[in-house]
Amino acid sequence: MNYRMCKYCKHFGMQKGLQYCLKRNKPIFWNDFLCKTFERKINMNEREIITSAIRVFGEIAQEEVAIEECSELIQAITHKHRGREHNIAEEIADVEIMCEQLKIINNCADKVEEYRKAKIERLYNKVFDACL
């Protein structure tokens, strides 16, 4: 089992498959640009934040969160169609963040971009054909 040291209090730990500081019972980040226990924030770019979330919470947990976020977007769209109050913009943002995490977890960003381009081209052809 691989233990990691908390930079904040210098203790080691692992609990339930996630890295934890056993003294402070807080998650330990695997990357060096953050305080290991959330006590101090350091400027990070979007990719570093997303990668840190995967490392802290785990790949399986983040894939499960992606499923939840997709279902919340579905629910928001349903609310809109029924004339109820909705939060579609917020749910789209959540899903987009989770999609970025899924691309990292599954190491498929390039493949996703290939499929995206092909599907945009196919959509263009459908729109063009519909206008004839």
Q: Which residues have a Cβ under 8 Å from the Cβ of 49 and sit 6 or more positions away?
A: none
Could you give the CA distance from residue 52 to residue 32 in angstroms, rounded to a whole number?
10
Tell me the two tokens of residue 125: 């052809």
pLDDT tens over the chain, length 132 residues: 445 555 555 454 444 445 555 555 566 554 444 444 444 555 678 888 898 888 888 899 999 999 999 999 999 999 999 999 999 999 999 999 999 999 999 999 999 999 999 999 999 999 999 988
Q: Which tokens sit at 10? A: 């210098």
Q: Where are the domains of the chain?
A: 1-43
Both tokens assigned to 39: 């006590």
Cα separations in angstroms, 76 against 94, 100, 102, 114: 12, 21, 22, 29
